[in-house]
Each structure stands twice: as C-alpha cells, then as structure tokens.
A and B are shown apart, each in its own frame.
Chain A
Amino acid sequence: MSNGDQRSMIRDAMQAIAQRKPGKSKLVYDKTKRTIVAVSEGVSAPQALNITADDADMFGVVTLSSAWLRDKWPNLTTLGSLPVDFSSWDDGDALTQLALCVQGSGTRASAMLVFGEQQAQPGYGLVISIVPTDKPTHRPDVFVSPDNIAYRAQVTEVVGPATGRREVVFADIEPQLDLRRAGILETTVLKDRTVLCVGLGTGGAHVAVELAKSGVGHFLLVDRDRLSVGNVVRHPGGISQVGRAKVNVTRDLILEKNPNALVDVHATDVSFDNRDMIAGLVQAADLVICGTDNRQSKLLINELCVSANKTAVYGGAFRRAYGGQILRVRPKHSPCQQCFVSALPEEASDVEVSSQSDADAIAYSDRPVAVEPGLSLDVLPIATQLAKLALLELLADKSSTLNVLKQDFDAPWYLWLNRPERGTQYADMPPLSSSRDEMTINRWYGIYFERDEQCPVCGDFLAGFAAAYGIDPSKLPALPEKE
C-alpha cells in the first residue's frame, strides 16, 4: 500500500468517524492488519490504534540523499552495493543519512545499499535495495538516476528485532526547497547573493536563519561571543550549543535550513583594531546586516559601508525590548547611521542591554548598569521585518512577488512598539482597539528624515564645517610638525 493510498484511506476513516452517530462503535486503524476496523466501544483492542492525524505518517522512514546517491551511482552500479550510515532518531523510528545531517542525533545506524533485488548481506541488519519502478518521478520515494531511469527503494531487515515497516524517501535538497519558495522569491538570484551578518545575538541570528530559509546562498558571519545558558531563552541556538561560538551555532542553523549555503565564520570583535579585515568582508558582501547594540561598531560598519557603497540594514531593540527600530542605509541616497545619530540622538541611544558586556560598555565601574534583556517574542518582530527589508534589497530590481512591498517600505527608518513602556514618550499611547491615527503597539511605522548633506561620513563635512566656521577649505594651512 502506498503512502498516498494510506492517507486517503485514513482521511476517509476519519471522515466516517466525524459523521457517525454517537455510541455503539468506533473506527480504528489496525496497524497489524493495515486496515480500518470497527470496534465496539468499551471493548479492549490492543492491536488497534485510535486514528489521529499523526497516524498519517505511521511507518518508520529512511531518508537518503539524492545528491549523494547521484554522486555514488557509478560505484553502486559497478560494485553492486555500498555501505551507508544514518543518524538514528527516536529509537530508530527515523533514519536520516549522515550526508544530510548538520547535527546528528548522536546515535548511528549502518545499512547496506544494494543495486537490484536484495542479496544476503552478512553483518548488516538493514539492507536497502534500489530497484526500477514505473512510479511517477516527482514522488519523494522515487529516485531518478543520472541515466534518467526511475528507481524506488525497499528495505529489508536481515537480523535483529522487527521494527515495523520502513519507507524510503529521497531528499533532493535544492529542488525540494526551491519548490517551496518559487513563485514568491527569485531563488536563482538569492543563491548568488552574499550577506555579511555582523552581530549574531537573538535578532541577528534570527535574521540570518530567515535569509537562509529564503534561499540566500552565501553568508559571512561575524560575532565574538559564545552562546551562554542565559542566551538560550532568546537565541535560536539551544542548550546543547552552549559554549560554542555564536558564529558556529548560527552557521549550523543556516545549514540546517539551506544545506547548500556557503558560510564563512569570523569569531572576532567588530572594532577599529580589525578594521581592515571587516572592510574586506564589507567589500565582499552584497548587503550588510548589522545587529550589534554597540554604537562604535555600528558607526564603524556605517563608515565602511558608505565608503564601499554597500547597502546596510541596522536593527535593534530598545531597552527591555519595549520596541525596536530598523535603519536602512543606501549610501548617498538615504540617511546613514551617522546622520541618524546626529539627527535623532536619543532614539539612536535607546538600546537593549542584553548582556554584561553591553552593560559594561555604558557603565562606570562605580555605577553599574543592570542587564535587562527583553523577551524573545518582542525581539523577533524586529528581526523578521529586518529580514524582509533585507530580501527586498537583495532582490533589488529583479522580478519578485515582494516587489509590491517597495512602495510600502521606502522609508529609511522603521519603528515598532511592543508595549507602551513607562518612562518613554510612548507611555500614553492609546489602546490598539481605540486608536485610529495615533501611534499604537504592534504596528510598523516607516519614518522619513533627511540625509545630512554635511554628514562627516556620507556628506561633505569639510565644506559644511568650513562654511560654518568661516574657513576656506582650500586654504587650510599645514599642521605643525613634531619630531
């Protein structure tokens, strides 16, 4: 019985259950008989399982990599068999070929892959036979060989306890992932795009993973920190990753979503001491995402991006993540981070203090600043919006369903409020239900402000200041020299 047949049968049975009159009997799927049976209520039915939606995938699954099999196809057809290793999940319920695993289960299982009908394979409990089939080639249980012949796989347990029926599916990663994105995103464009992600805290890591899901093909990751236990309640990395560098944690999260992505990691600080190295990364990127909470690192990235004429998107939460903001900088065309800091100093200084290093950066030693991280659910709206703006930039003038958003997201600065935080200018916002035109929580506001023509980073600071101070910039005397 095929998967599709089973699901169809189960759907019919569930519909029958939904339509039946109360009392008397119930319909159950008998796993042993592999059929639907009617069982009187109150009667013990140890062989039967109550049907739930989960039962639609009731057989164990073996997942093989199509790319690996294509690569090994000449060997398999010549030698007749190949060993293959799996990561075993849930007591062997799911076996995923190691070639597909970024992070395995920690339990391995071995099998022998055989070309043609299964032969006895001493030493291997599990034998997977690859045999020709006339099934349609789009099915996940069909593999199309390099010589364009359709095959299916059948599993034989040679020794050991019977673990029930297993189905083999072939994971052809790139086409199967692209299929889910096609029509909305221009995936062939995104595959060739390089994104530099600076700062991989909760927001930065989330943005990177979202871009990986969307099909971005090349990432440059920069962060000096390691994942701590306290990070786990917010960061996409989990407790098993504690102690690892955030760049490595995020790389693995990216590869889990986009195994074909190229990811370069740099576990380093963003500081003036390694300015040249960071400048090289900026030069190599199509887009820069800056998720640091540190003014100096933002301004350094800003300077390098303006100099290299690279678009950058800066995102961050306000203190305790009562809200957040995003600044998109298209050099020479929209205000840069320096323009923002000069024009809106209070807004630019309202940052989340989510770690001890953040706190130390703004505290005097005799007046410590408390670490007050916000909630993950308050940071993620900002990260999600940032990822969307990043995709718009990456797709630029290419055809995409997202193009219609360009008229919505044409402002340089975006503001989001999670709550009317006391002590802020947003404390007295009207409730969401009664507001019409006033600012409220849970809405994005695109805000326009002018670029500073005399900005010291993106404008003509020299001419502007010279004029302001009555100095002729063409007649600046040479500086006094010292030995």
Chain B
Amino acid sequence: MTWTMAQRERLALEHQILHNQGFTQFSVYHYAADDTYNAYGTATTSSGRRYQLFCMIPSGYPTQRPSLYITDPKPLLNYQGAAISSLGVSHAMHTLEPHAAGWVQICHWRADRWHAGIVLQKVFLKAMLWLEAYEQHLATGRDLAEFVRTMQEAA
C-alpha cells in the first residue's frame, strides 16, 4: 500500500473536519504496522442506543468509495428478528454487500454516485440518519427506505 502525500493530507484534514464539526466520537486512525487508515467511533441515537461504526479507507480514497459497517451490535436484527446482513444488497433496508465478518454495510453513497468531493463527516452523518431510520423500522416494521430518501448526491 502506497499512499500519496495528497491522500495523507486529505485524511488528516478529514480527521480535523470531523472534530471541528462536532463529530468528535469519530476519528481517522493510522495503522503504522501496515500503513493503512480507517475511521471509526461510536454513534449514539436519539433513543440513547449505541452503535459501533467502522469506515474502511480504501487505497483509492477519496476517488474510491469507502465502505461503512456497523460492527456492533452483531448480528444487527430487523423487525422480524432476522440478521440484516442476510438480506445482502437491499433497497428496502438501504444496505450493501455485508462484510465477511457479518457486519451490516450501510449504503451511504452508491459507488456510481460517490466522488472525491464527499467528506467522511457526511458519510458518518448519513450513517447516523440510517441508524435513526433503523430504529423507526424496529418500532413500526416498515421498510427503512420509507424513512430515508434515496441518498442524494450533493455533498
């Protein structure tokens, strides 16, 4: 893995934007052992429930879309009590291909809508909106898609 200086600067800026915008529960981390980057933290919904969010920074970032997973709770269950990860790529739940570890992948931006102008703070913001919609889904049984508009492109 070889990161350009522009990528490293961008990730440092992303970290600072998160903290400047009040998203201090999320940080960008550097893994010195293999020179990789990830961003993660704990999201707390308006109901007070806590979710661990994990954003994998790909080697092509920011042109390449980062994946965002819910690593805890695991499994994340739907209204019917089934693991959401078993649904795979779902419009009803706004999820993409789950991680091999069984983590649910949130659809923040589809790859065909992602671009380098979108910052991680917006990604985590969308994840928090997804979690609020998820809890509405748990309360009502209605599809999560009914509570969130299809993810818009504007960064």
Residues of A within 8 A of B (CB): 272, 275, 294-296, 299-300, 302-303, 338, 341-342, 345-346, 349, 361-362, 364-367, 455-457, 461-462, 465-466, 469-471, 473, 476-483
A-chain residues with CB within 8 Å of residue B6 when the two chains form the complex = 462
Whether A364 lies near B91 (C-beta < 8 A) is: yes
Smallest beta-carbon distance B28→chain A, Å: 6
Mask: chain B, 64-78; 1 = CB below 8 Å from A; 0 = not = 110000000000000
**Interface assignment of B63: CB less than 8 Å from any CB of chain A:** yes
* Complex: A289 Cα to B88 Cα, angstroms: 35
**Interface assignment of B16: CB less than 8 Å from any CB of chain A:** yes
* Complex: A465 Cα to B64 Cα, angstroms: 19
Smallest beta-carbon distance B91→chain A, Å: 4
Smallest beta-carbon distance B121→chain A, Å: 9
Whether B112 lies near A361 (C-beta < 8 A) is: yes
Q: Is the interface of B mostly helix, strand, loop or mixed?
A: loop
Whether B65 lies near A296 (C-beta < 8 A) is: yes
Q: Which of B31-39, B48-56, B98-106, B127-135 contacts A (4 or more CB under 8 A)?
A: B31-39
Whether B112 lies near A296 (C-beta < 8 A) is: yes
* Complex: A15 Cα to B114 Cα, angstroms: 67
**Interface assignment of B119: CB less than 8 Å from any CB of chain A:** yes
Closest 10 CB pairs of A and B: A364-B91, A272-B60, A456-B116, A367-B91, A476-B12, A345-B153, A365-B89, A295-B112, A479-B30, A482-B29
* Complex: A466 Cα to B30 Cα, angstroms: 21
Smallest beta-carbon distance A213→chain B, Å: 33
Name the CB-closest residue of B to A307. Answer: B4
A-chain residues with CB within 8 Å of residue B32 when the two chains form the complex = 481-483
Name the CB-closest residue of A to B21. Answer: A469
B-chain residues with CB within 8 Å of residue A473 when the two chains form the complex = 9, 13
A-B CB pair tally, cutoff 8 Å: 121
* Complex: A341 Cα to B15 Cα, angstroms: 24
Segment 106-121 of B: residues with Cβ below 8 Å from A: 110-117, 119
Mask: chain B, 10-50; 1 = CB below 8 Å from A; 0 = not = 11110111001100000111111100010000000000000
| Other 18 A-B pairs with CB < 8 A, given A366-B90, A479-B28 | A272-B58, A295-B115, A299-B116, A349-B112, A361-B111, A361-B112, A364-B89, A365-B88, A456-B117, A457-B63, A470-B20, A471-B17, A476-B9, A476-B15, A479-B12, A479-B30, A481-B30, A481-B31
Mask: chain B, 118-155; 1 = CB below 8 Å from A; 0 = not = 01000000000000000000000000000000000111
B-chain residues with CB within 8 Å of residue A295 when the two chains form the complex = 111-115
Residues of B within 8 A of A (CB): 6, 9-13, 15-17, 20-21, 27-33, 37, 58-60, 62-65, 87-92, 110-117, 119, 153-155
Whether B63 lies near A483 (C-beta < 8 A) is: no
Whether A272 lies near B17 (C-beta < 8 A) is: no
Whether B27 lies near A480 (C-beta < 8 A) is: yes
A-chain residues with CB within 8 Å of residue B10 when the two chains form the complex = 456, 461-462
Name the CB-closest residue of A to B31. Answer: A482
Whether B11 lies near A479 (C-beta < 8 A) is: yes
Whether A362 lies near B110 (C-beta < 8 A) is: yes
Name the CB-closest residue of B to A361. Answer: B112
Smallest beta-carbon distance A275→chain B, Å: 6
Smallest beta-carbon distance A440→chain B, Å: 29
* Complex: A302 Cα to B116 Cα, angstroms: 11
B-chain residues with CB within 8 Å of residue A341 when the two chains form the complex = 115, 117
A-chain residues with CB within 8 Å of residue B119 when the two chains form the complex = 465
B-chain residues with CB within 8 Å of residue A478 when the two chains form the complex = 12
B-chain residues with CB within 8 Å of residue A300 when the two chains form the complex = 60, 63-64
Smallest beta-carbon distance B136→chain A, Å: 19
Smallest beta-carbon distance A318→chain B, Å: 15
* Complex: A482 Cα to B32 Cα, angstroms: 7
Name the CB-closest residue of A to B152. Answer: A345
Whether B12 lies near A272 (C-beta < 8 A) is: no
A-chain residues with CB within 8 Å of residue B114 when the two chains form the complex = 295-296
Name the CB-closest residue of B to A293. Answer: B112
Whether A366 lies near B92 (C-beta < 8 A) is: yes
